[in-house]
Structure 1
Amino acid sequence: MNAAYRQLTIFQLLITNHLVQKASLADQFNISPRMIQRDISQIRQFITDQHLFYQLAYDYQSGGYQLETTQATVSKQALLLLIKIVLASRALTKDEMNKTIDGLLQLIPVTDQNEIRPIIKNERFYYQPVHHGQPLLDIVWQLSGYISQRQTITITYQRQHREIVTRTILPEAIIFSEYYFYVVAYNAKYKSNLFYRVDRIRHIQVNHQQPITRTRAERVEDGELRQLVHYMQPGKKLTLRFKFWGIVEAALDRFPTAKVVDRYPNERAVLIEAIAFDRGAKMWLLSQGSLVQVQAPSDFVADIRTELQRTLDRY
């Protein structure tokens, strides 16, 4: 066995989290410990020259060499939570989900991978994606590039009832909500920010002929938007108040801007104030049935009453 093959063998042992000891390697290859030391020195130099995220460290307690990573690592606990969240999202096709999980697992040592695999095995086996069946990883990355470069694009888009339309937009943010990815984009024709489901985009082309420009003040702040929007329903921004008899924490979590402004211990209720877009807020409030009573603003209360009457009319 020549020196290059021997060094590759040693490096393969190191990169798979094995401890290597000079004496045992010398016996394995039938060479002197001095030659093994030379191999280890060359491996250390290779790591330095290639700017790899490792360092070769000697463990005095065990009397051997190990590779240690020099970059920030993700713990097995954090990785398990990430995989659980991705599985619960149901957003990716089975093929993309499997590739994503396998890629994430490669970030941790094999021993940790072997701990996680049995935990997620059942949920992974029964994974059921949403029905659109569209691959998303590449298009979400592509749209993110257009956002960072502030490029105007023309998309072919399939609307809710399968109608195909063409839209020229300036993408400004990518948001995930309720199983779907959305691109928030400014549409100059309608002079407003609109939400487009990424899986319904059939074709994208950069549009150099009709560039859309927006000032920094006009751009969408996706972090702030996420605090105000629900079910990815746009609408009018308002400050609403509602009396709530349900689990207070659930209401406060649903509206990140919410706060309790009054309490009614005898009724086991609270008064909550929140800032939100009206359409998404209305959808959630109606889903709470008799646990909620909207009190302000007055035009929003009237809208809720009208919607409740329409619901009753169906029965």
Structure 2
Amino acid sequence: MSSQERILTIFIRLLQGDTLSKVDLMKEFQKNGSTIQRDIAIIDELLHKLNSKLPISKFSPFKELGEINRSKRGYYQLTEFKERSYMDDYELFMIFKVLFASRGFHKHDLEKIYHKLFTSVDDKSIMDKLLANERFYYDGVPETDIYPSLKLLVQAMLNQQMVEFTYTKNGETKVFKRQPIDIYFSDLYFFMISAKHTAKDDTDFNELNKFRINNMKKIKVLNERQSLDYTNRFQGGILRNQTALPFFGEPITLIIDFYYDPVYVLDRFPNSVIKQVNKDGSHRIEIPANNGYGVKMWLLEQGSHVKVISPKYMQQYLVDNMKKTLSYYDINLNE
């Protein structure tokens, strides 16, 4: 092996995040310590040149390779670069937990992602033990791989192309033609979005603007293109803060009295504010929400923990649904 090949090999390993030992390098390449030190000095000089020539941009801090860390005598590592570029085992552990909890992937899709991430794990034995139970019992919602469909839709979205597909809901199947403007994940599902977050949602099957990707079949990308008005863009960040479940709606200020720990409301709706503590111990909370089905479902889930103050039509929605539920048990409130 030539000196250039040796230096390149060492450099690549440093970029991979490896911690290199001078003694191990001496044994591997059959070179003395001074030769290895010269190799490291050459790499040091190259790093300095590369860092100084990087174009300035918002990504500059992430592109910098940093300097070789020699804090531990006889060892070399690009510590700063590794910390910026690679996730440690604890960060990977958090990602794995979120992936399993989502149930949004077919098991085959999840396994591919799992193995790609797992190659970056340092202590593979420990990580495997920590995740073994959830991995074994994982049961994703999609019945088939969604990756091919998702990739196709993202490409169509970037090219502003229309797509045609069949979609089934409540036993009814129709052919739709829509332009994907975003991909959104929430509550078990990846959705293809074709309208802004305040559009009609689930009121008329023919007017759907939100489609579960795992339920879209026979997807075809069409040559038809349509430019989009920026003001009518879908804003997933706003929607996620306004509703507990993925349903569109017009923005409202929802005011409730909550008869349990208010943290469950504050965590669910990050822009909500406690306005007062009532005499009965409940909390009056003001929530920037929307009037979609997702908020209505969340309110119904709270049962006796919540009282809607306003809007009045949201209050009436809860009352009507509670009466209907009681009728299933032959309970007549008029008796």
TM-score, structure 2 as length reference:
0.74
* Residues 1:137 and 2:147 aligned together: yes
* Residues 1:244 and 2:280 aligned together: no
Asked whether the equivalents of residues 183 and 197 of structure 1 are also in contact (C-alpha less than 8 Å), the reply is yes
Q: 1:46 to 1:313 in 2, by over 3 A?
A: same
Matches within 5 A, 1:257-296: 257-265=271-279, 267-274=280-287, 275-296=289-310
Find the residue that maps to 1:82 and give its secondary structure: helix
Cross-structure match for 2:231? 217
Q: Structure 1: 5+ residue runs without aligned partners?
A: none
Report how far residue 289 of structure 1 moved.
Answer: 1.3
Aligned partner (choices 83, 90, 99) of residue 103 of structure 2: 90
State how many pairs are aligned.
307
Q: 1:46 to 1:246 in 2, by over 3 A?
A: same
Asked whether the equivalents of residues 156 and 163 of structure 2 are also in contact (C-alpha less than 8 Å), the reply is no
Structure-2 separation of matches of 1:299 and 1:66: 63
Asked whether the equivalents of residues 169 and 186 of structure 1 are also in contact (C-alpha less than 8 Å), the reply is no
Structure-1 separation of matches of 2:71 and 2:297: 63
Find the residue that maps to 1:208 and give its secondary structure: strand
Asked whether the equivalents of residues 195 and 232 of structure 2 are also in contact (C-alpha less than 8 Å), the reply is no
Asked whether the equivalents of residues 152 and 207 of structure 1 are also in contact (C-alpha less than 8 Å), the reply is yes
| Structure in which a larger fraction of residues adopt strand | 1
* Residues 1:157 and 2:166 aligned together: yes
Q: 1:161 to 1:28 in 2, by over 3 A?
A: closer
Asked whether the equivalents of residues 104 and 189 of structure 2 are also in contact (C-alpha less than 8 Å), the reply is yes
* AA of the residue aligned to 2:89: K
Cross-structure match for 1:298? 312
Q: Say what the alpha-carbon RMSD is for the aligned residues.
A: 3.7
Aligned partner (choices 74, 79, 82) of residue 92 of structure 2: 79
Aligned partner (choices 171, 179, 199) of residue 170 of structure 1: 179
Q: Structure 2: 5+ residue runs without aligned partners?
A: 55-62, 330-335
Matches within 5 A, 1:302-313: 302-313=316-327
Asked whether the equivalents of residues 285 and 292 of structure 1 are also in contact (C-alpha less than 8 Å), the reply is yes
Cross-structure match for 1:147? 157
Q: Using the aligned pairs only, state the percent identity.
A: 26
